[in-house]
Each structure stands twice: as structure tokens, then as C-alpha cells.
A and B are shown apart, each in its own frame.
Chain A
């Protein structure tokens, strides 16, 4: 089961009418000391027209630029990163992240790892994992470029996080997913529902294994750039019923999570998730989970 019609029909049943999307490039400025430089002002002096993204503290859309914003000295000096708008949301949802021990379980290519370090002002520790060496090189490049100094990176599958022998205060699960058509022109041709189901299974395994290394009362932020409910609301519904995790209310861009998926009723708390249909940003799904104190 695949193809444009199959998927757009599904989206319509979930309450969204398909439309073509032209994504705008966006950047995120790195704000933490010792970065005193005002990256936005400097880009504007170079003739780059920016528009503040209303739902992000450090995000700007690039309205006009006569050159690549990924090749300026300001970029190379790590004053900002090129990062899609919706992808900038997950790292901002943690509470009290400074001085914490944080797991970035599927970290490469590292945009969110850099953002976490920035939000933590390079305090505490981030342990970043990914399974592909080539992607780890990209991650290491980002960390070096942005002068991140509180991260440890391992070539490791997130499902083996217990090998670290560390209990985490916060875990970012930007899990591998099926993606969406807004960021991949060939998406409808290449993806099948079986891909989404396979990814959903892997995502549940990652959720299970990383919840085991989360401290009681600790937080997980789970995100995908998939629009398929198997990877989103259905997985979170499963997590609330099987992993003693509670869905926390979050205040961010996006619509409420769906609690009726093709007739299947989900736990009411799944409404606290945020589903972002493509439009101003790519398609995205985000939620924040808290480990119950009485969990084993």
C-alpha cells in the first residue's frame, strides 16, 4: 500500500487536506556564551533578509539571500545553524535543562545536539548516539564548528543505551522515521505503509530501551518528521500503556495529537502531543513524556 493517492486519502481521513508545500529555509542562532555576536544583525548587514519565526525564540526564516547562508563566515564560526523550523521545537520543550545529564539517542547529523548544548549553555553532559559512522562525522563537524564542549559521542544503537551505565535526567528521541513529502520530492514514490510500520516497531524498541535509562520523574521528548500515526500517536498511546510514561502538556506550535485514528480510540492524554501538518513548516510530530515516580 503506497502512492500519493493512498497517503493523501489517509491524511484526509485524519482531518487534513493535502496541499503542495514549498518549504522556506530557516536558521537558528546560537545564543549561549561566549557567543556575544549578533548573528541576525550580521547577516542583515550582508544583505540577507530574515523574518522572525513567531513560535521560536531563536529561529528566523530566510526570506532573501544572494548567496548560501550555509557558507558565510558567521555560519562557519558557529554563530548560527541552518535548521528547519519544526525541527527547532523539540529541544526547547525540556524543563530545567542546564546542568542536566541528557541523552540524545539518535543524534546525527547533530543539529539538535548543538541546540541542546546551546540551551544548556554548555553545562552538564550530553551523551549523543548514532549508529552510522558517516553520520557521526557530520555530527562531530557540527560540534566542532559550534564550539560545543559538553558532549560525548558514541557509535552506538539507541537500543543499547543501557551499556552506558548512566541514568539520564532528560532524553531526546528524534527517532528514525519515514519522513514526509514536504522534505522529500520523491516521498510518495518511495514510501509504503509497511515502511511506516517497520519504523514504528523500531521506534517502540527505542522508546522501551531508553525509558529504562531515564530517571524517575525524568523527561523524554519524542519527535518524528513522519505524518503517519503508526509512528506518532499510536506509538505514544502504546508508551503510556506499556512504559509507565505520562504525556505532558506542552505549549508549542502545532495542533493537538489525534485520539481517534481510523476508528481506534486512544488514551485521552495523547491529545497533549503536537501534530504539525505541512504548511509553514515541514510535517512533524512532537510530544513530551514524563516517567512516573513509581515506575520500575
Chain B
């Protein structure tokens, strides 16, 4: 739980949830509502909203968690259509493809990547101070929704 909260705080996010509805199953975390919590038996495979998993002391967020974070205050970067496509193919974000920055522009900051419709595509880490660069890689891709296809191919 602490690793997940630390992860969320890296985005200067205000997102929070009632911890009593967070259930840990193996190394994975799920957010349940009262109805689900009443019915969920031990050993379920999936329940409610998947939040992410912990592996080797690192937290790997789910895409629903990133989307929930994107609905509130958090570091966000809105990108154009071409950059959206490249990003979901696993590529980094170039400065030229960014149409708006919300929150930190500092090198090393974590940021959510958002498309023109306000939908969260994943997240990355800013590689340069954004005010001091005009071109080149601005955000290193850490995780993107193209992962759903990669998981299917891996099976």
C-alpha cells in the first residue's frame, strides 16, 4: 500500500481512496465498493478496479489507476494525435508533440500522458527541463496502453 501511495505522490496527485476498500490479493491491489467487498471471497483472480501490482519492491500501476489520477490534480502532458500513436507504440514523447503541460516541467518529474480527448495513455518521466528545450525527447515512456496488445502477443 505504501509503495502505491508513494507512486501516486510522485505525480503531485491529489488522488486518494478509502483504504478500507483496497484489497491485496497476492502482489496485486484492487479497489472494491461495498457490494463487492461483501461478496468477494479469498483467492479471487480479479475484483473491482485493478490498481496495480508490486514486484521486487516496485509498484506497477494499472491503467484504470492512472486514469483515476488523471481526473484530478496531477502532473499531466497533453499530446497531439501523432505523438499519441507513437506513445502507445512504446515510443518516447518529443517536445514538438506536446500541446499543453499541467504541473511540473522539471527534469526527473513523473507525468501522465493525455490525448486530445483528455484520456490517459500512460505515464513517463521528464528527461529535460521543458522550459529549456524546444526539440528532442522530453518524456521517457515508462508505461502505455499499448501494453494490452503486448500482453496478448506474449500469451
Contacts and interface: CB of A to CB of B under 8 A. Distances in A.
A140 B44 CA distance: 11
Interface centre among B31, B46, B115, B155, by most chain A C-beta atoms within 10 angstroms, is: B46
Given A76-B88, A164-B41, A141 B36 contact: no
B152 A77 contact: no
Nearest to A109: B152
B40 interface: yes
A143 B119 contact: no
Contacts of B148: 76, 141, 144-145
A224 B96 CA distance: 51
B145 A140 contact: no
A73 B63 contact: no
Interface string A136-178: 1111110111010111111100000000101000000000000
A124 B34 CA distance: 10
Interface stretch (B1-9, B47-55, B97-105, B128-136): B47-55
Interface string B1-44: 00000000000000000000000000000010101100111011
Interface string B58-69: 000011100100
B155 to A, nearest CB: 7
Contacts of A154: 41, 43-45
Contacts of A185: none
A250 interface: no
Interface residues of B, number: 33
A149 B64 contact: yes
Contacts of A134: 155
Contacts of B149: 70-71, 76
A152 B40 contact: yes
A125 interface: yes
Given A152-B40, A153-B45, A154-B45, A125 B35 contact: yes
Nearest to B62: A144
A152 B50 CA distance: 11
Interface string A187-220: 0000000000000000000000000000000000
Interface in A1-55: 37, 42
Interface string A54-87: 0000000000000000110100110000000000
Interface centre among B36, B84, B121, by most chain A C-beta atoms within 10 angstroms, is: B36
Given A136-B46, A151-B47, A153-B47, A76 B33 contact: no
Nearest to A45: B81
B33 A140 contact: no
Contacts of B41: 154, 164
A127 interface: yes
B88 A124 contact: no
B39 A125 contact: yes
Contact of B39 (A42, A76, A155, A166): A166
A284 B35 CA distance: 34
Contact of A144 (B31, B33, B45, B50): B50
B117 A143 contact: no
B20 to A, nearest CB: 17
B56 interface: no
A134 B154 CA distance: 12
Interface of B: 31, 33, 35-36, 39-41, 43-50, 62-64, 67, 84-85, 88, 115, 117, 119, 121, 145-146, 148-149, 151-152, 155
Given A149-B31, A152-B40, A152-B48, 19 more contacts: A37-B119, A71-B149, A73-B84, A76-B145, A77-B119, A101-B39, A136-B45, A136-B46, A137-B151, A138-B152, A140-B45, A147-B49, A147-B64, A149-B33, A151-B48, A152-B46, A152-B47, A155-B45, A166-B39
